Amino acid sequence: MQSAPTLCLAVLTLTAAIPAQLAGAYTVNPAWPSSPSNFASLLDATTALATQGVAGPVLMFLYDDAGAYTEATSFATSNGPYAPNTAVLVMSSWMGTSASNRVTFLPAPGELPVFDATGRAMGVFWGGTDYVTLQGIEIKNAIYDAVSLYAETTHGVAFDPILDGCRLHDCGGTGVTIYGNSQMPVNTLVQNCVFWRLQLTNAGSFNTTGRFGYITTRRSTNTRIVHNTFFADTGVGSSFCVLGAYPSGAAELPYAEVSNNIFFKVANAAAPMLRIQSPTGAASLVPPICDSNCFFDVSGGPFARWGAGGLTIAPTLLDWQTTALRDLASLASDPQFRDINTNDYHLTATSPCSAASTVVANVATDADGQARLAALDIGADEYSAALSIAVGTGCTGTGNLTPALRSNEPFLGNASFALTTSQVPPGLFTFLFGSVGLSPNPLPFGAGCTVYLDLGTFTGLAAALATPNGTTAVVYSLPTNPSFVGINLGYQSLVLDAGAPLGLTMSNALSVTFGF
């Protein structure tokens, strides 16, 4: 028999060896050393969640310092294999998650995390985890789907998943697949997301029943699609649509709400924007809430296919309103995006989607984090008069790199207004300068470098070393103050680069006008 002190020591040793459950804020930054508060990879983060569980809300702040996330983590499915069966982020069921203990993956202030799924089957394989939010992440280049919420007994079924403010594009399959092969995914919420260049190949399993549009569902229930922007510039497959459902049971409610979305379709004239292909006797043929959407189809396709077997065709929005009695306050109009050529789907001042919503979807902010006002805008963007305009060009230095300065949206109240300099050799000192507006007479500095700032108000703002990804970011919190409306400032970066002709390089300038 062990003595009491020996037994006590053994208990204490065993207790100390068990890692604490996760709660609070953590970082995921491959450019930093691993530590109790920083994970060197997404896989390290999800492994900790799986082995330690959750004791409170968890925030995983993602950094782009090492470039795009390109991990290739394996996932398992027993039905409908994919080759390769890998994704950048693979999740599983995590002990302790709940409505009050949600796990959120989101950008760190000033960061623009990208999941580049080139050569991977999926960008994100949800894997049956409950109460998880993916927020503000760009997901691209998957062989199949950007996000797969495919559910089966092998890995569980997702409950209350949220996709918020993400950009999903250039994938062979869907933007989001919500598909239950055992129990149904429940309460999926997709909001503030922007979708383009999807369904490039329509390859993979279930591509006519579960994976055939920009968002599609099968054997799922209570999904809400609100305040998203779809620019359907590609799309192949016999069942293609922008938003679709193929329920297998009469009791399914594929979409509880489809409201405040922009559907802009320019490809595949034979395909509808909406396809809800219900079984005979289905209790719900159309979403109970389906309104305040903006539709614009320049491809000439039918508006919708719906009803039993999807055999009812509504050629136009008016036909849909007449036969399905939905979208009665929706628009058929050009949303007037800022610049579709650069995938800038912000609204312009004359957009008919501005202040056009009649359905309150309880989405407090837009894709940029801007507060939605009482007169809600349709789509992922809430219009702002604030502007950030690139002016001029930078000059080239080491490695033929030309520094480039950009910012996110300068709306007043933005707690993470970021001025980011990219295309800088790693480790070089980068300085940010500002002035009141830009000079009307830019000053050539030599070797292709030009000073665009106003020299009379020229001032230094910050300095930092470029990350391994060749970027620096300066982050400010903009006040919510009407007196700042219309103020115009200029910004430009300078990089100390011994390999450049002048020993330095400069970026383009930004002309930034603040506003609500």
pLDDT at 6: 42
Whether residue 445 contacts residue 394, with contact meaning beta carbons closer than 8 Å, is answered with no
Residues 6+ positions from 5 with CB-CB distance below 8 Å: none
User: Over the range 89-118, which residues count as b (16 or more CB within 10 Å of their CB) and which as e?
Assistant: bbbbbbebbeeebbbbbbbbebbbbbbbbe
* Same CATH fold assignment for domains 21-347 and 387-513: no
Sequence letter at residue 172: G
Please give the distance of CA 481 from its chain centroid, rounded to a whole number.
28
End-to-end, the C-alpha distance of the chain in Å comes to: 73
What percentage of the chain has pLDDT greater than the value 90?
92
Whether residue 506 contacts residue 494, with contact meaning beta carbons closer than 8 Å, is answered with yes
10: pLDDT strictly greater than 60: no
pLDDT at 78: 85
pLDDT at 18: 59
Fold (CATH) for 21-347: Pectate Lyase C-like (2.160.20)
Strands 304-308 and 312-314: antiparallel
Q: Would you kindly state where each structural domain of the chain is located, as residue ranges? A: 21-347, 387-513
Phi/psi region, residue 53 (left: phi>0; alpha: psi -120 to 50; beta: rest), is left
Average pLDDT score over residue span 136-160: 95
**Nearest-5° Cα angle at 107, 103 to 111:** 165
In tens, the pLDDT along 336-371 reads 999 999 999 999 999 999 999 999 999 999 999 999
In tens, the pLDDT along 221-250 reads 999 999 999 999 999 999 999 999 999 999
- Which tokens go with 74? 């394996």
8: pLDDT strictly greater than 70: no
Radius of gyration of the chain (CA): 25
Assigned CATH class of 387-513: mainly beta
84: pLDDT strictly greater than 80: yes
CA atoms within 13 A on the CB side of 318: 1
Question: Per-residue confidence at 11, pLDDT binned at 50, 70, 90?
Answer: very low
Average pLDDT score over residue span 91-96: 96
Backbone angles phi, psi at 332, to 5 degrees: -120, 90
- Which tokens go with 75? 């996932």
Whether residue 224 contacts residue 188, with contact meaning beta carbons closer than 8 Å, is answered with yes
